[in-house]
Amino acid sequence: MQTNKTGFLSSIRAFVRDPFRMFGMVSVILLLLLTIAPAKDYFSQWRGYQRQYLRFIGSRGDAVTLRRHFTGGIQQIWIPKLDVVDRCQSCHVGLAEASLADVKEQPFRAHPPIPHKLTEFGCTMCHRGQGAATTVEEAHHSEMAGEEPILPARYIESSCGQCHHEPLEGAPKLNRGRVALARYGCVHCHTIALPEGSTMQATDNPPPLSHIADKTTREWIYAWLKDPASYSATATMPNFQLSDADAGDISAFLIANSTPQPGDTIAPPAASGDAASGSDAGASLYGESFCASCHATQNEAGNLVGGDLGPELTNVGGKVKPGWLMAWMRDPQKYDPQTPMPQYRWTDPQLKLIVSYVEGKTDPDFLANVHLQPATKAQIAHGKKLVIEYGCASCHVIAGVPKPDNFAPELSRIGSKPVVQLVFLPGMKHTLPAYLEQKIRQPRSFGPSLHMPRYNFNAGQIEDLTTALLSLTDRSFSLPASLQVPAVRETSYQPAGQAGQLMASLNCQSCHRINGHGGTMAPDLSWEGSSVQRAWLDNFLKNPNTLRPTLIRRMPRFNLTDAERTTLTDYILTVYQTPAFDRDAMPLAGYPPQLIEQGRQLFYSKYDCQSCHMVNPNVDKGYIGPMLTHVGARLNAAWIFHYLKDPQALRPGTIEPNQHMSDDDARALTAFLMAQKSGAGQGANQ
């Protein structure tokens, strides 16, 4: 052994001492090492995929075409002005091959159809990841040095939102998420600045709390704070996960801080002798007034019925005091000047009916277990501290507590937050979407001292919100302005003068949009004055009815006086006119019978209008568009003429097809439609 070892060592020594042999040996080793570099290049991942692709298409029927389209080597989409260098197609070889749409396994699947060309924006603009990379690991998963890992496909709509700030057809998740950000009041606390310079505005209308003692009791506030969802499943108020003591203290402060507002409370109606008939009459008044257009209630089956513009009323009787409700129903703007609720002009007996009906909607169990001791000074002081700490004034107006600025972190660029800057919980996936989802689902799981409340979102809503948040990227700010598609910005239009005051008290714009401001529940009235005739409008305001056979009427009757109706009609007819044409340019009647007959034939044969509209209800079966039985008494002739010529110009987004009618055809049809004045189908069944 010993001799062997020394023999080996001495032979090594001899070898080292011979410089020529040593030099030769080292050179061979160096040469071998040097071959590693070209070998690594030759056996690179993308070359492997390209070889695999050629084998794969060889077995297909369209092999010849596919092979002709194939170019070897590194492929890239290069868009200098967008800072895009995407080499994804080096491995995803068949991305642009429509015939590979049936392929299931990546990386050879064809790209699904999208509204943009693949070369228009490249890949990473939407999918994220590192475009310059040519290995899967680097391209899909790298997050060093600010690179973004690939975006899971279920959030892909967020990428559309980087340029498209308007509601976008084909991106429902993104649209729902954005609506939710505004509707659940996220943007009260978190500022979201948009690239065009505005900020996202909340649409949830949180009530002011400065006079809350007039409206409800401390017990109700306590129970509501503990769990808003137990009062109303549709509550937009989140759960702050308060302890019993904290909820008691906040309710004590809010009641003690409340000052009575003169006129907030009217003597409640005395208990009616005949409760049953009173309740029936109240129910029918509730129905006639179309309260359900905005307010939902739960029916016996547990389903919500009604709109979501106002709060759910299922248990409202347990919440509001009858005296307050009375005053509210008479004039809601007295208590809350910002309310979207219109002022119904109910008579006193009607007021009593509706109040006692609404007060009857109550859940006796809700407050059954709430027993609060009278509030002490210390409790009230602690309640105020909590109100400031939890940022209640970010949403609600509370006397003596100013609205905090930037209460929560700004989210304008949250979609580009580097993963290295996030703190993850144990066991969580280390990605930005996973972080956002957990933050929305269980905000306090990141630390018990955090103030963000918990919402009752389902998995779908959380995905929607995450999609909307992921669209708020650095890139959306740095992209050229020419690529930005801004949202239609809400104007601050308010009608002026006496009619303006009237429309403000009726809150017309809660449902109707006028000159870019208002709701979308009812038709846009910006050009209503060009469209309708005075007599019809006056009559409609007196007794509204639906124009479409398949829609439920939602316009309430407001008990307007004759003078008020005249003011409104005058204003609408004078002010809301389109500059496109003169509404009196064509006569309302007196068209020659041949022209009417010609129009009738065009209506029934050439343009097939009866597929959607009805002129004679006995014959026609069109249930989609408005009824035209009285259209000659409703619309102006010039409006009909121009509407037929180009419907979308007068009512953007209408489904009425643009038939590119000649003037003659449009004139004949106008004559025929203007003849429909009494609903008997004049000229229709000749």
Partner 1 sequence: MPSPIATALDRLERTRVWRSIFRSGKGRSTLHNALVIQQSVFLHLFSVKVRKRMLSLGATWYLGTLTLATFLLLVVTGVLLMLYYHPSVPQAYTDVKDLQFVVSSGLFLRNLHRWSAHAMVFLAFAHMFRVFYRGAYRPPREFNWVVGVVLLLITLLLSYTGYLLPWDQLAYWAITVGTNISSAVPLVGDKIRFLLLGGHFVNANALLRFYVLHCVILPLSAVLFLAVHFWRIRKDGGLYVRESEPGAAEAAQTSTTEEREKP
Between CA 110 and CA 89 the distance in angstroms is 11
Place of tokens 């609720």: 341
Q: What is the CA radius of gyration of the chain?
A: 35
Site residues (CB under 8 A) for partner 1? 16, 36-38, 40-41, 74, 83, 85, 87, 130, 132-135, 138, 144-146
Q: Please report how close the Cβ of residue 20 comes to partner 1 at its closest, in angstroms.
A: 15
How far is residue 475 from each of residues 87, 484, 576, measured CA to CA in Å?
A: 19, 11, 41
**Nearest residue (CB) to partner 1, 10 versus 501:** 10
How far is residue 477 from each of residues 162, 186, 200, 480, 490, measured CA to CA in Å?
A: 8, 21, 15, 8, 21
**Nearest residue (CB) to partner 1, 147 versus 463:** 147
Identify the H or E element spanning 337.
Answer: none
Q: Please report how close the Cβ of residue 74 comes to partner 1 at its closest, in angstroms.
A: 6
Place of tokens 């709060």: 311
Closest CA to 577 of 493, 519, 638, 660: 638
Between CA 401 and CA 393 the distance in angstroms is 6
**Nearest residue (CB) to partner 1, 145 versus 423:** 145
Q: Which amino acid is at 651?
A: R
Q: Please report how close the Cβ of residue 28 comes to partner 1 at its closest, in angstroms.
A: 19
Q: Please report how close the Cβ of residue 37 comes to partner 1 at its closest, in angstroms.
A: 4
Q: Please report how close the Cβ of residue 529 comes to partner 1 at its closest, in angstroms.
A: 55
Q: Do the bridges between strand 296-298 and strand 77-79 make them parallel or antiparallel, or are there none, so unpaired?
A: unpaired
**Nearest residue (CB) to partner 1, 16 versus 275:** 16
Number of residues that make up the chain: 686
Q: Please report how close the Cβ of residue 41 comes to partner 1 at its closest, in angstroms.
A: 6
Between CA 573 and CA 531 the distance in angstroms is 9
Identify the H or E element spanning 78.
Answer: strand 77-79
Are 114 and 125 in contact by the 8 Å Cβ rule? The answer is: no
**Nearest residue (CB) to partner 1, 85 versus 547:** 85
**Nearest residue (CB) to partner 1, 135 versus 515:** 135
Are 476 and 163 in contact by the 8 Å Cβ rule? The answer is: yes
**Nearest residue (CB) to partner 1, 38 versus 113:** 38
Between CA 184 and CA 229 the distance in angstroms is 13
Q: Please report how close the Cβ of residue 474 comes to partner 1 at its closest, in angstroms.
A: 15
Between CA 93 and CA 82 the distance in angstroms is 23
Between CA 48 and CA 318 the distance in angstroms is 71
Strand partners, 401: 398
Are 487 and 161 in contact by the 8 Å Cβ rule? The answer is: no
**Nearest residue (CB) to partner 1, 21 versus 67:** 21
**Nearest residue (CB) to partner 1, 416 versus 438:** 416
How far is residue 446 from each of residues 209, 415, 442, measured CA to CA in Å?
A: 30, 19, 8
Residues 6+ apart with CB under 8 A from 302: none
Strand partners, 84: 79
Q: Please report how close the Cβ of residue 26 comes to partner 1 at its closest, in angstroms.
A: 12
Are 318 and 367 in contact by the 8 Å Cβ rule? The answer is: yes
**Nearest residue (CB) to partner 1, 146 versus 263:** 146
Q: Please report how close the Cβ of residue 79 comes to partner 1 at its closest, in angstroms.
A: 13
DSSP 210: T
> Which backbone phi and psi does 298 adopt, to 5 degrees?
-90, 130
Q: Please report how close the Cβ of residue 333 comes to partner 1 at its closest, in angstroms.
A: 54
**Nearest residue (CB) to partner 1, 85 versus 182:** 85
Q: Please report how close the Cβ of residue 130 comes to partner 1 at its closest, in angstroms.
A: 8
Are 588 and 533 in contact by the 8 Å Cβ rule? The answer is: yes
Core vs surface per residue 194-224: b (16+ CB within 10 A) or e: bbeeeebebbebbbbbbbbbbbbbbbbbbbb
**Nearest residue (CB) to partner 1, 73 versus 592:** 73
Between CA 309 and CA 312 the distance in angstroms is 9
Between CA 384 and CA 427 the distance in angstroms is 38
**Angle, nearest 10°, between helix axes 348-359 and 322-330?**
130
**Nearest residue (CB) to partner 1, 14 versus 619:** 14
**Nearest residue (CB) to partner 1, 41 versus 105:** 41
Q: Please report how close the Cβ of residue 369 comes to partner 1 at its closest, in angstroms.
A: 56
Q: Please report how close the Cβ of residue 430 comes to partner 1 at its closest, in angstroms.
A: 17
Q: Please report how close the Cβ of residue 44 comes to partner 1 at its closest, in angstroms.
A: 9
**Nearest residue (CB) to partner 1, 36 versus 270:** 36
CA 113 to chain centre: 25
Q: Please report how close the Cβ of residue 220 comes to partner 1 at its closest, in angstroms.
A: 53
